[in-house]
Amino acid sequence: MQLNFISVSGNRLSGNIPNHLGDITSLTYLDIEANQFSGTVPTQLGKLVNLEILKLSSNRLTGNLPNEISQPTNMTDFRINDNNFNGSIPEFMQNWRQCERLEILGSGLKGPIPSSISLLENLQQLKISDIDGTNQAFPDLRKNTRLRRLRNTEIHLGNE
């Protein structure tokens, strides 16, 4: 199958994200935002090596983000807002050197914000809020000369 675009945003779809989506390796765009998907993000999504845009926001997703989803190195847009994930913001995002938009708002993930975010030199929009974590310095973004929008509305420190 040579399908490259799937968007089922805002359809009240529920259950787990289908594992077999990982078999559509030609996909460059996957948008399942604003549904009622639950469970964990399938590791099979890591097989989507051509994926550029992945939107998982506004679902009921849980668990840790699997390291396998770092495999698509052409990722330009990654959104995981408004979910119930566990664990820390993953370091693997540093593999996404082409990333232009990264959104982690109310995702359930904890800090610290990885300093490796500064390696995303093509980043134009970075939105992070509502993360718990330890006291930390904000990553040095001086090399991110394309950054046009930064939103960091609320970070809860564990020692407060």
Task: For residue 77, give the amino acid letter.
Answer: D
Average pLDDT over residues 7-30: 97
Residue identified by tokens 């359809």 is: 11
Cis previous bond, 112, omega within 30: yes
Task: Give whole-number Cα distances, 104 to 2, 13, 87, in Å.
Answer: 30, 22, 13
How many whole angstroms separate alpha carbon 61 and alpha carbon 6? 19
Chain segment 109-157, per-residue pLDDT in tens: 998 888 888 999 899 999 988 888 777 778 888 888 898 888 765 444 4
Distance of alpha carbon 116 from alpha carbon 125, whole angstroms: 16
Name, of 4-13, 95-104, 137-146, the range with top average pLDDT: 4-13
Domain total of the chain: 1
Q: Which residue has the tokens 């990722």?
A: 75
Q: Which domain holds residue 21?
A: 5-157
CATH assignment of the domain containing 137: 3.80.10.10
Q: Please, which pLDDT band fits residue 13 given cuts at 50, 70 and 90?
A: very high
